Chains A and B, each alone.
Chain A
């Protein structure tokens, strides 16, 4: 059973600080990693994808991947109240395997 683990939170971060979200996965041959943001009552929205070890930056978001340790993280710099949402980590194995999702981390940015 392939698993993706996330701390369900809630994670509370002051406005303007860095929010750090973590995700671990069990399948060592996983190839593709995604972070989705889901506002309450809405559908998941893709915000970042990462495929190689290291950091990938996009605006205020940075995804970090460490395949040896089997974890992927998402950093949100200069956190804004609009960043308050549930963040889903998704992992895809080798080839055309399906996405496996974590339960999500609920993030609250405190003004």
Chain B
């Protein structure tokens, strides 16, 4: 266990559904991340939050909407997704401000869009 939890672990949804992914970190970190991992591709950084403020949005389609109510919780709201959005969605956290900080990953949510 890395101290980062994600729910649900598996999710199947239709293109018209709305769902949310949840991430919680118990490490006292101040930065949280959403990554997308598709087959044969590098991990793609989607969003970064430092001290609850979004600091990075890597041209992610608006059908993905992040929310960070506090430094321990991060959500990814999903709506009208496409089949190509099927992937493993990983949450990570780190302690920003240290030049040698390390990111720790949650177990991921395997998303299938039908």
Size category of the B interface is 20 to 34
**Do A95 and B99 have beta carbons less than 8 Å apart?**
yes
Q: Is the interface of A mostly helix, strand, loop or mixed?
A: loop
Check: B108 CB closer than 8 A to any chain A CB: yes
Question: Chain A 2-18, CB within 8 Å of chain B: the 1/0 string?
Answer: 00100010000000000
Tell me what chain B mostly uses at the interface: helix, strand, loop, or mixed.
loop
| Stretch among A41-49, A53-61, A68-76, A77-85 lining the B interface | A41-49
- B3 smallest CB distance to A (angstroms): 12
Residues on A with beta carbons closer than 8 Å to the beta carbon of B104: 46
Counting contact residues on chain A (CB < 8 A from B), the size range is 20 to 34
Task: Name B50's closest neighbour in chain A (CB-CB).
Answer: A96
Question: Could you tell me the distance in whole angstroms from the C-beta of B45 to the nearest C-beta in chain A?
Answer: 6
Of the candidates A43, A95, A104, the one whose C-beta lies within 8 Å of that of B105 is: A43
Question: Which B positions have Cβ atoms within 8 angstroms of A?
Answer: 2, 40-43, 45, 48, 56, 88, 90, 96-97, 99-100, 102-108, 110
